[in-house]
Chains A and B, each alone.
Chain A
Amino acid sequence: MKDRLIYERSVKGRVGYAWPTLDVPRIEPKEILSKTHIRAEAPKLPEVSEFDVVRHFTRLSQDNFSVDTNFYPLGSCTMKYNPKVNEKVAAMDGFAQIHPLQPEQHLQGILQLHWELEQLLSEITGMAAYTLQPSAGAQGELAGIKIILSYFQCKNEKRSTILIPDSAHGTNPATAALSQFKVVEVKSGADGLVDLADLKSKLNEDVAALMLTNPNTLGLFEKDILTITKLLHEVGALVYMDGANMNALLGNARPGDMQVDIMHLNLHKTFSTPHGGGGPGAGPVGVAKHLEDFLPVPRVRKKDGQLFWDYRAEHSIGRLHGFYGNVGVLVRAYTYIRFLGNTGIMRAGKTALINANYIKKKLEHLYPVPYGDLCMHEFVASAKSLKQYGVTAQDVAKRLLDFGFYAPTVYFPLIVEEALMIEPTETESKESLDAFIDAMLAIAEEAKAGLAPEAPQNMPVQRVDEVRAAREPNLRWLPPASSLPTEPPTQALGQSSMRMDSSSQTF
């Protein structure tokens, strides 16, 4: 046991924070509230001092790889540097200490920031209008799907199919299914791109939209994009673009110019806001002109120089967030775009491509890249040549940790055997790319020499037993004496978790 839990540090009677002496008369809850409303006993939280908390969580933090500490080439996640100044701006009292229901005359600054950010994102992506409300990419997709639904309802057309390429992220089909759409998969061709013949065979008047990631998850630009959007539009369907890979297009090309109708962005990927160990993100959704009326409410509007929240909503899909979205994330993304400006944005997009192609070039003799000659911002290599030595993509991933590099996304997309999806981003230096390349080559050499150790060796823990975690779910701490009934392990669950063990990586 390396680190105790905060609960295991608990000492009865210890406190970590003092409230001021109450300045109003103390009243007895029992005399005022009905007995049924009063909690019987205090919530069982750990009893620790401030110093205990600081040391415990500082120690724990050191068990994490992060962008600040390690190269993090996690494909499709765009782990670029998260600028420190973004944090400073988001923490300004004028942004952090404002209430969503304050009168609009007290909120002109933040409304202005929304207004400008919508315009900046519109210009960068070529879309006509934006909502900043969705909390993350998947919620942006949900907004997009609801817009598609409302658009066809409004036109009195019944369409029930969403087309999704087989290389798409899992969130695409999951989101479409949430709105009762039927998901039909479009095959990838031999070049890894949408198979136009297969797409055509599936196009009909029941198709509401194609959800397309471009560049796709192989890091390849859909070279037939203009044909694809045209084909969809010819049957009256819409094109939704998953913007997870927008970093590749930053300053290079614009989805709007490709005739995309709806797209979402991941501000936590493309626009440098920190991932926070799993959020918060933000998933603004951009639409072409003909879909603007369907955006969620409220929208930010300007009248006589005054900005206000507009709730008029004849065709709007409604609200997606308790208030206005992940505003703190929006502030960071705005700060980032203002810092970079036009030339900075363009240099970022270019360098992202150069960095990715550079690694690809240096690795492909040992880790072949089955699809694509040149890549965009990321590429998917295969570790299958190491299989003969008993080394899998998962082993490569774990061994990289020993070398001080976070692992690429593994086993995705499924169309590449032993997949390693590598995305360096523009902020990594050539030296860190070279060090990563050296580690990848060393791992291949180790494997060939039959010297591959059971990795990881140098991490706080050795290989973690995921199968057991799923078979015997232990999701919360309990004092040693007591125990909560757990479900008996089932064979079916065991099998599915076995599968998980070898194919668990995604984004």
Chain B
Amino acid sequence: MDYVSNTDAQLKEMLDTIGVKDFDALLQSVPQSLHLKDLAIPPGLSESELLEATRKLAEQNKNLLQVPSFLGAGAYVHQIPTAVDAIACRGEWLTPYTPYQAEASQGILQSIYEFQTMVCELMGMEVSNASVYDGASAAAEGVLLAMRHTNRQRILISEAVHPHTRQVLATYLRGGSTIIQEIPTVNGVTDVEALEKAISDDVACVLMQQPNVFGVLEPAESISEITHRSGGLLVSSVYPTSLGLIDPPGSYGADIAVAEGRCLGSPVALGGPGLGLFATTQKLLRRIPGRLVGATVDKQGNRAFTLTLQTREQHIRREKATSNICTNQGWLALRATLFMSMLGPKGFQEWAYQNFAKAHYAFDAFTKIPWIKPAFEQDFFNEFTLTYDKGIDPHKVHQQLIEQGWAPGHLLSEWFPTHPQSSLWCVTETISKETIDRMAETLKGLSV
């Protein structure tokens, strides 16, 4: 099967109109030796066969409705109101391109304007773009912006920034002359004294994460103050859900705030597509990467929306553009807009609060077990690091849990060899008290 509408008779008629005798004549500029005779891929399927084949593949995965999960570590499972899917899946939202023709794309443009407003409000920042790929590339773009703005080549990154974010940044910077210095952690937070020693007037920016990769809340105000002493910029990578309860980056003086926004109304889907949120200050507006939507007027003076400040972008500026990004994550930005609209200020607060309360309930329950200790005595939001007593093999513990049908927290030993006994546990609003209690009972019952 295929999705070609024209019949063979119509195609023949069109070839006649074109004035060629057969299809091959259309390939006259392609060297004969390159003409393809066949493709070694399987024959097509009917829709029912296709659904059967793909369902079989899907069923070979253990999905999160089958396996209660305490996994987070950069990918968070949250509720999605039914209306988000119902609206976002309309063809008028799903199937247009980037809104180049403003007059035929007012719906998309207005929704992006609303999205930009909500992201600003959430982050406490002045301007937001229309999104970038994901949280990790948003952080990389943030660092690149800071380097352009300060014209400096050294960057400081907290060790407590998610390792995948640090890896993506390293890829983006590969081949350049940037010096990346890692700031260690002490008791689960960025070592402020080490940061003070490392900061100097050649530092373009400091990249931090709030809450950090251990789930711990950083002393953001101190980090911000130290960063700004020598004219560097603070890039803060945050978790949107937390912002219903936790201080937003704008309030501690972040110059650039980035986030993985998939938690705002999109499924976790193995971690992608993501939604890179990118917000900054008015001062840095001209250096922002990616699309921006602005309000203006039409010929009659009525409010209208359009892509704007495009002279920053690759299609106008080519090698002098602020970023090479073109396609972004528009559809996920729409989902986030729907999601935030439905929650409103109160709902967003309650959402964050339920995550906070449940995670603390679970933390208390799990740390009552004799061989489980908190890794750090620190503030956290909905994710926390546990340490198992010496002599206990964390891999064995987790293997047992997996065999009993759980998706336990994430073992940290691979990311942090200095934390061989630790694992990172996340509790969102999707986990019931009953599940937490059952997990605690299961842990208690393990032979370790």
Contact = CB atoms under 8 A, between A and B. Distances in A.
A is bound by B: yes
Contacts of A220: 29
Contact of A149 (B20, B175, B337): B175
B330 to A, nearest CB: 3
A98 B321 contact: no
B2 A347 contact: yes
A165 interface: no
Contacts of A334: 54
B342 A16 contact: yes
B384 to A, nearest CB: 12
Interface in A330-362: 331, 334-335, 337-348, 350-351, 353-355, 357-358, 361-362
B130 interface: yes
A103 B334 CA distance: 31
A32 B271 CA distance: 31
Contacts of B19: 361
A396 to B, nearest CB: 12
B433 A23 contact: yes
Contacts of A96: 267-269
Interface stretch (A196-204, A231-239, A421-429, A440-448): A421-429
Contacts of B130: 278
Contact of B247 (A22, A38, A135): A38
Q: How many B residues touch the partner, as a band? A: 35 or more
Contacts of A48: 341-342, 344
A183 B319 contact: yes
B243 interface: yes
Interface string B376-387: 000100000000
B41 to A, nearest CB: 5
B333 to A, nearest CB: 8
Given A280-B332, A322-B274, A474-B294, A94 B59 contact: yes
B171 interface: yes
Interface string B249-266: 001000000001000000
B100 A19 contact: no
Given A17-B347, A504-B100, A429 B6 contact: yes
Given A65-B105, A274-B95, A100 B273 contact: no
Given A1-B302, A53-B342, A110-B57, A136 B326 contact: yes
Most buried by A among B55, B273, B285, B436: B273
A480 B276 CA distance: 29
A16 B341 contact: yes
B158 interface: no
Nearest to A193: B29
B213 interface: no
A497 B105 CA distance: 20
Given A6-B114, A327-B273, A81 B30 contact: no
A178 B164 CA distance: 20
B64 A97 contact: yes
A98 B269 contact: yes
Given A43-B243, A72-B96, A124-B41, A328 B269 contact: yes
A341 B43 contact: yes
A102 B71 contact: yes
Contacts of B434: 23
Interface stretch (A285-293, A381-389, A459-467): A459-467
A26 B447 CA distance: 33
B282 interface: yes
Interface string A19-39: 100111111010011101111
Most buried by B among A3, A106, A113, A177: A106
B326 A401 contact: no
B424 to A, nearest CB: 9
Interface in A446-480: 454, 456, 459-466, 468-470, 472-477
A74 B105 CA distance: 14
19 contacts: A79-B97, A85-B51, A87-B89, A96-B267, A101-B73, A102-B71, A124-B39, A135-B273, A139-B133, A139-B325, A180-B176, A278-B97, A279-B331, A327-B271, A347-B2, A348-B4, A397-B101, A464-B306, A470-B309
